[in-house]
Amino acid sequence: MKTLRLSTLAVLVHLATASFAAAPVAGLDRPGFDPAVRAQDDLFHAANGGWMKTTEIPADKPEYGSFIQLRDLSDQRARAIVEELAKQQLKPGSVEQKVGAFYATYLDTAAIDKAGLAPIKPALAEIDAIKTPKELATWLGKVQGRIETPVQLWVMADFKNPTMNQALTWQGGLGLPDRDYYLKKEEERFVKARAAYETYLTTLATLAGLKDPSDAAKRVMAIEYRIAEAHWDKVENRNPVKIYNPMTVTELAKAAPGLDWATFLQAAHLGQVERLSVSQPSAATAIAKLYGEVPLADWKLYFKLHSLDDAAPVLPQAFRDARFAFRGTALTGAKEQKPRWQQGITEVNGALGEAVGQLYVAKHFPPEYKARMQELVGNLLASYKESIDGLAWMTPATKAQAQDKLSKYMTKIGYPDQWRDYSKLEVRSGDALGNAQRSSRFEWDRIAAKAGKKVDRAEWGMTPQTVNAYYNPSLNEIVFPAAILQPPFFDMAADDAVNYGAIGAVIGHEISHGFDDQGSQFDGEGVLRNWWTDDDRKAFEAVGSKLVAQYESYEPLPGKHLNGKLTLGENIADLSGLQIAYKAYQRSLKGQPAPVIEGYTGTQRFFLGWSQAWREKVREERAMQLLTTDPHSPPEFRANGAAVNHDGFHEAFGTKVGDKMFKAPEDRIRIW
């Protein structure tokens, strides 16, 4: 089912996508190297070329690499836990029973097929029953958290007062991945995606028995084109100052007529809210206007088809196949659906993630892992502190503010200290769609209840079994779930050089998000404010512009260059994280020379460890989707793009003029 996400900044700044074979003693996958490629010419393919040549992307995946392999491992471990629960006779209403019943019901496709359209008919009937704009506003509020509406609601820390939670709006409502899929009419890849989407909508309408399915699809597409025209682009949404627009509900209703905002908020359990932040004011105004202009009959078609799309994974086979043909094959290039068990793990993680996570860490996250990570984080923070002191382009006044912010970082490793309470979530055996709907509403009610209350700093934004990491600017925290603390990122048996090049750079990456183009606008308390001198900010932006130009020179697909402004924050974090991890590795040696292992020096192993962590192959359709929507650069350019600016890389491999990775010292980009 659909999980709502806001912008990268609005919820979390996270690490993202990228693979790995069994590691030898030093932590390096030597069989995955390509001896025909020199690191001096292409670090990524030198460390990963052998693997790239011999590995096929599995048919059920749009991409395959380090992150995907670890996610598969995490899913397999969660599966063992969940299937054991599903077999047991557990106390009715216990969280263990809910996990097992939710998963077993999702897997019972025979029962889902037999039920036909009966489970979705009440939801469609609710839409049919809407007769007035006020009733539409009520329905929109009731489905928050379950269906992505054109104006979404969320609750998170107030950018200006991060100790308190604030409600906010966010643009949404598109069935295709981004506004560009609608607005860039000449891009051939987008033309194909739009055609596939219209076919999918027509199929949904046909399967649901709607009148004139082709016409219904066209009417829905027409609405989405108008929504897309109102949407802000991804670069605009990265600016925290632009997306922070507090106003009263009365002011919002005046600025954006066409939607009954008070009724909408009341139905979403946010009736007590007097002020909220309108993240994209012009989009909110335009979409509210659409609610008033577009015939109610068209809106009903729109929401019926979106409801069917959202529910398709727990509707009969024809719906599941149609959804995969579009969201799987057309958009990502995947050839087969993920195994049903793996889809089920994704769903149970979304519904009862911390319940599964509590069992996961008991089996797969020994205390010594956390202790080792705390040591690594300590070294990274100490190295960052020294690096700030040594900055030539920053004045003492701004350095003092940066040091203050760094000193207030909060680190979360492995799992939360307090586990989420699922006692009020109802799970019914044999009701897959109902379970999904109730879990979505349960989660939304939890989020809505936070509005106007103090921020819970102990809360986690990811489950322990999630293979990822993030920085949250409002809490000034870095978070590393248990599942990412495994090879090739972190290996208790591996050489320190490889660990620092992999998980050390990941840690450095997340620390650096507090000082990228977005995070640097928040102070040590998480307050959105300018703590820089004007000259320092100009100097920082000048360096950033060089990084934008570097990455915009990369062409991952023919005719499709990277968006350097969209990826700037992640590129800064990659570059700075690698630089800080290198300093931390040198610090860990305590003045002693690193041993040569398997013919590689310590610094060479560091950069090879960094590169193999980003190992990945991706299908063209998925690559296009990521290039349009993802603030991260493709893994190849993450590996090479950061290393080419690193003095340590050039020293380790002795690059010289003529080498493809050579970059003159005076041209190397150095930030933190």
Q: Mean pLDDT across the stretch 313-342?
A: 98
Whether residue 230 contacts residue 171, with contact meaning beta carbons closer than 8 Å, is answered with yes
The proportion of the chain whose per-residue pLDDT surpasses 70, expressed as a percent, equals 96
- Range of weakest confidence among 265-279, 306-320, 407-421, 484-498: 484-498
What pLDDT, on the 0 to 100 scale, is given for residue 19?
Answer: 38
φ/ψ bin of 113: left (φ > 0), alpha (ψ from -120 to 50), beta (otherwise):
alpha
Crossing angle of the two packed helices 505-513 and 568-588, in degrees rounded to 10: 130
* Residue 479, domain member (yes or no): yes
Please say whether the dihedral angle defined by the alpha carbons of residues 375, 379, 380 and 384, taken in this order, is positive or negative.
positive
What pLDDT, on the 0 to 100 scale, is given for residue 66?
Answer: 93
How many domains, in total, are found in the chain?
A: 1
* Residue 157 clears pLDDT 50, i.e. is over it: yes
CA-to-CA distance for 265 and 269, rounded, in angstroms?
6
The mean pLDDT of the chain is 94
* Residue 228, domain member (yes or no): no
Q: Mean pLDDT across the stretch 33-38?
A: 97
* Residue 627, domain member (yes or no): yes
* Residue 46, domain member (yes or no): yes
Q: What is the DSSP letter of 431?
A: -
* Residue 528, domain member (yes or no): yes
Q: Mean pLDDT across the stretch 342-369?
A: 96
* Residue 25 clears pLDDT 90, i.e. is over it: no
What pLDDT, on the 0 to 100 scale, is given for residue 26?
Answer: 72
* Residue 12 clears pLDDT 60, i.e. is over it: no
* Residue 657, domain member (yes or no): yes
Token pair listed for 648: 């340590």
**What are 470-519's pLDDT values in tens digits?**
999 999 999 999 999 988 888 888 889 999 999 999 999 999 999 999 99
In terms of residues, how long is the chain?
A: 672
Domain harbouring 606, CATH code: 3.40.390.10
Domain range for 400 is: 20-54+368-416+460-667
Q: Mean pLDDT across the stretch 80-95?
A: 94
Q: Mean pLDDT across the stretch 35-56?
A: 98
What pLDDT, on the 0 to 100 scale, is given for residue 15?
Answer: 52
**What are 452-472's pLDDT values in tens digits?**
999 999 999 999 999 999 999
3-state secondary structure of 412: strand
What pLDDT, on the 0 to 100 scale, is given for residue 493?
Answer: 83
CA-to-CA distance for 531 and 26, rounded, in angstroms?
43
Nearest alpha-carbon partner for 182 in 213, 234, 235, 222: 222
* Residue 580, domain member (yes or no): yes
3-state secondary structure of 44: helix
Whether residue 309 contacts residue 217, with contact meaning beta carbons closer than 8 Å, is answered with no
Residues 6+ apart with CB under 8 A from 349: 78, 356, 463, 465, 466
Whether residue 524 contacts residue 407, with contact meaning beta carbons closer than 8 Å, is answered with yes
* Phi/psi of residue 348, nearest 5 degrees: -70, -30
* Residue 252, domain member (yes or no): no
